[in-house]
Structure 1
């Protein structure tokens, strides 16, 4: 897994502001002797058309800088210098602040350390499907339109906004789709009892009213992703979903609002057949697939947070003058001597130098029996000291600890695509253009040799091809297989 430092050193796409890996960049251009890299062909085309628009001295609205340019970073309130200026404060007199522990000059109360501000810094986000896309702050992938996820695992228990949005869209869409499906399928009931009591025009307008929020609101994320895939020429499953549901809804809307445009031969029970139920059902099924996939990723995020909770927030450091002090875990460096008391967690990886204890290492080995530790024995950060206290020397801290590496591997596995997802992407890359070709061929053949009115039959045939090819099964099968 790449570190944050390595990511921040990547060149920046001057058009959209994304961090770009030159080895995986979609395009490259040279302007006035300066080299620029791009995340997509669309960004490259925009830059080539108007390079001055993106390299002017003033900072673009969407970019933090340009690849290859050295920009002066703004001074952040989260820098170590500012953090150390207000390290400790008095609970009773918050205006009292100083660097390091001590007593309050107002009341004599022991000062308490201010919560570190580093957690409020900007986090970098990446796309689960396109890891080369990296940016500061949340947003959508410019290639596929998916919501970006944090590049580094966070300790805070965050609610995934995309999962919340998709779940809300699914449940509301499901409630509206059921009556649409029931009305459409009621024609199959012998005797058609519903049609005998309610006119066909009323039933069509009822389907329009119920299906409109499902397709336009519930399916809006799919239209965004489909459009993004077309702009970047990276066709995928959402391209067909957007085309299929969009064309079905548009055709049905025209058939409902302007039925006179269609010949009498098209009409059944006085109305033109519509596809509102197909558009609504496809949208709802794909929403269900997205909810299942996002829940699977959320479960992995919960596991990451559980791993992060294994590390204690502070460590008891032995100072040179023989005193001891609790310090934040991020301030521990290799070579520090730390005291671990009974019942406490081992803060970092290191070696016992004094004392002996029984340490619960089930976090690493799964073995429930505590392991005896004596001077010279290694200890692992996140394990629990059972009985006895000891002094250890820190050897691996921060991202070098075993716990941090485990978290990194889990996070990398979460962001990587499963083999079945890669297969689905490969199939979709060929399937989408093939479907579009078949739809065009069907339209042309019916237009040239079809019965009169040829244009109406050709349009209906092309619409039918796009609806039938809409990969709602693929939208469900892939996330369900990932969950299993």
Structure 2
């Protein structure tokens, strides 16, 4: 049996792991799984157990278990002083290995779990452009002009350097300092291996050892001291990681050398040279640390490329705009724009915020948001988005969404959150990593023991060197980076293609989808229906039918309703005021006019309201429906009085996209609120596997449940409020970016352009990312499976080969870089 309990006190993935382990050890619990986001524990019980046993398992910790969801603590929270964020950054930092899921920090530093340098999240907040004087840099103004001190023209001030680049430069500087001190140590150590030892002939061995010791101090205690700090932190918190192994390996080698230098008599003869001096390992320790530093430098540089998509999106946001106030145009900072402001967008400029054109027309390049290269013609009354580029004409727009509400800002925030989310496959790497470091330490100890008892002379030397090599080469960093790097690059690639992925789970899950439920209007069709014909009965004229339908529909936001209102306005029809407007979900609408009840909708609504339907009108409506047209009917006081014929053209690329989705193995079912005749015509033209007409929101939701009960993995694509329940229930919900906010919020994936071709892109992207993750995991696991035995000396009995700790350090550093490089290949993937 399975029971659910509520957990309080958890803040990160480390907390989740601790609670899972503690509860799993309770007698009678066969399996424990904790959901960090929902704060619940799901326990598989072999038998009924006392709740006190579960409480005792967490006793003494900050976590508490509850049978019922605890009431929220409404006590006032203490004021928290937040660190002022960097001028050009977000002030949010996260671990690139996502050790604690989506957790962020308010200042730079090291991850408390794995010790990696925290990475700054790209911010969607655009700071205003500042101007400064070339001669007096302390002068800063909000706009161009002249310097108040010397009169020189002010110039734009360069943006502050990103924290990410500062980290890279800091590590690079330390690396070169390490090289400067390590290279002489390496030359001295290697010089002793040259015949006649020309280096050693200048000074005694003991003197050279003291020189090596002196040169190693800056490397150990300055440039690479952070590795030992991280190792110490990992041990006292028992979050064992790559720095645990590096700290133990390099630290033991250096301390051994210092003791051998100061009190050589404590060592047996096996560790001494012919001159009686203990063999030093200063070069091994410093070379290992320097190579690890090189790996950190290369990783820091590579991290900058993994979220390049977000940075490119950030570049789209302009930092100033031209506002029209009191009939005058003035340039203001982007953060000073208010909702309702009239803005002038000149040729070649970027659209500053989301809004609607009120005067003029132009051609807009939306490729940076939609992924489609063809510019779009825009005229008065049409919407434009922040970051898109104006063509060769000027226009005036009204600001409707500013700041973080713009589409561009929402895209950036969604990409940031998705990049930090954890794919389910990451659990595999987490389980391996949890046992990896202790296992490596055990293998290292075993290596020492085996070489000491069974190795050749000098046994202690061989045992010591090979044990260190095992510690150094077995770096879990590549394993930890395997999944998050691919997810981060994949999410960024999706953003470039106009495919916004809410979380990594959706990115992974889409790869296993076998059934696609898809809406018709706005998804398979253009979603821009137009009235083709008005048909009336004997008791009303065509003008009357159009007037009544448009009068009721003016209160509806449905695309079909908007089409009838637009057509009535074009025909010069006066619209009447109606009362008691009501929407009948999935069927139509109703209202009262001069005491008469008006019904507008499909055949299902007419049947439910027991409307009297003349055979002639029904036959004419069915004929139009068989042609693929939509036919909203009008009933006045219980009598069918006419209908309008509305056509909605199928999108030009729908057929090709459906064919490719079929070839990818997906079963495609169209679900629409439209009538069966129209649905059948569209399904036949697109060669769909099945269709269901006259669907209500509950019908779509029930179909998702039915398919899931059959064991199928279901994706649902839609764009309306009526699609939201099914989008939320489906394994993967796909919302059209041209649809409603409710649908987008309910979905896991959003297609910015609202094009079915985007579904195909999302499918290919999911496949490419999962393939890349599996490659990374195979490489990381294969590397360690091969490297650890070689470092332990498995090749020595047959080939006489041993792996130097320095070579092991180089291999360890480049293993992580190779995983990142493989993930970066996704950027060039043709999808």
What's the TM-score once normalised by structure 1's chain length? Answer: 0.67
2:390 and 2:189 mapped to 1: Cα distance? 66
Q: Which residue of 2 aligns with 1:157?
A: 160
1:179 Cα deviation after fit? 1.8
Q: What does residue 347 of structure 1 align with?
A: 352
The 2-side partners of 1:48 and 1:120 are apart by 43
Contact residue 445 and residue 458 of structure 1 kept, 8 A: no
State the SS of the aligned residue for 2:344.
strand
The answer as to 2:26 corresponding to 1:20 is no
Structure 2 residue 436 is matched with structure 1 residue 434: no
User: Does the Cα contact within 8 Å between 1:292 and 1:480 map onto a contact in 2?
Assistant: no
SS at match of 1:157: coil
How far did 1:424 drift? 7.8
Question: Do the aligned residues in 1 keep the contact of 2:451 with 2:462 (CA within 8 Å)?
Answer: no
Greater shift, 377-386 or 323-332, is seen at 323-332
- The change in CA–CA distance for 1:445 and 1:477 in structure 2 (over 3 A counts) is closer
Contact 1:144/1:228 (8 A) holds in 2:
no
Instruction: Give SS of 2:220's match.
Output: helix
Are 1:146 and 2:484 counterparts?
no
Query: Cα distance 1:71–1:307, how it changes in 2: closer, same or farther (>3 A)?
Result: same
Aligned residue for 1:470? Answer: 472
Partner of 1:31: none
Cα offsets for 1:98-144 (capped at 9, x unmatched)? xxxxxxxxxxxxxxxxxxx9969993333222344433333332223
The CA deviation at 1:357 is 1.5
Normalization by structure 2: what TM-score? 0.41
Aligned-partner Cα distance in 1 for 2:289–2:81: 47
**Superposition map of 1:76-155 within 5 A:** 123-129=91-97, 130=99, 131-153=101-123
Kept in 2, the 8 Å contact 1:352–1:378? The answer is yes
In 2 relative to 1, CA 415–256 (structure 1 residues): closer, same or farther, beyond 3 Å?
A: farther
Q: Provide closer, same or farther for how the CA distance between residues 285 and 445 of structure 1 changes in structure 2, counting only shifts above 3 A.
A: closer
1:244 equivalent among 246, 249, 274: 249
Match of 1:358?
363
Superposed displacement of residue 258, structure 1? 0.8
Cα distance per residue 1:138-188 (max 9 Å; x no partner):
333222333333345265532434323211111011122122122222233
Q: 2:304 maps to which residue?
A: 298
Task: Summarize deviations over 1:74-118 as a string: whole Å, max 9, x none.
Answer: 899x9xxxxxxxxxxxxxxxxxxxxxxxxxxxxxxxxxxxxxx99
Contact 1:256-1:272 at 8 Å conserved across structures: yes
Task: Give the unaligned 5+ runs of structure 2.
Answer: 1-6, 20-35, 37-58, 64-71, 127-158, 474-808, 825-831
Q: Which moved more, 1:295-304 or 1:372-381?
A: 295-304
1: CA distance between counterparts of 2:211 and 2:238?
37
Root mean square deviation, CA, Å? 4.7
Q: Contact 2:298–2:817 at 8 Å: present in 1 too?
A: yes
Q: 2:177 aligns with which of 172, 177, 189?
A: 172
CA contact (8 A) 2:451 2:460 kept: yes
Q: How is 1:261-280 mapped onto 2 (pairs within 5 angstroms)?
A: 261-270=266-275, 271-280=277-286
Unaligned runs of 5+ residues in structure 1 are 1-10, 14-18, 29-36, 38-46, 52-65, 79-116
- Mapped to 1, the partners of 2:464 and 2:86 lie a distance apart of 56
Q: Indicate whether 1:307 and 2:313 are aligned.
A: yes
Q: 1:174 and 1:315, CA in 2 relative to 1: closer, same or farther beyond 3 A?
A: same
Alpha-carbon deviations, 1:410-469, whole Å to 9, x = none? 54576578999998876654442123223434566788x699x9xx96697356402443
Q: For 1:38-59, what per-residue CA distance to the aligned partner results, in whole angstroms no more than 9, with x for missing partners?
A: xxxxxxxxx95899xxxxxxxx
Does residue 286 in structure 1 map to residue 292 in structure 2?
yes
Name the CA distance, whole Å, in 2 between partners of 1:440 and 1:279.
Answer: 19
Query: Following TM superposition, by how much is the alpha carbon of 1:248 offset from its aligned partner in structure 2, in angstroms?
Result: 0.5
Residues 186-265 of structure 1 correspond to what in structure 2 (within 5 A)?
186-265=191-270
The 1:200–1:468 alpha-carbon spacing in structure 2 relative to 1, beyond 3 Å, is: farther
Kindly indicate whether residue 56 of structure 2 is the aligned counterpart of residue 70 of structure 1.
no
Q: 1:189 to 1:167 in 2, by over 3 A?
A: same
How many angstroms does 1:397 deviate by? 3.7
Cα deviation, 1:241-291, whole Å, max 9, x if unaligned, reads: 111000000001101111111133431132111211111111111111100
Contact 2:364 2:375 in 1 (8 A): yes
Name the CA shift for 1:265/1:122 in 2 (closer, same or farther; >3 Å): closer
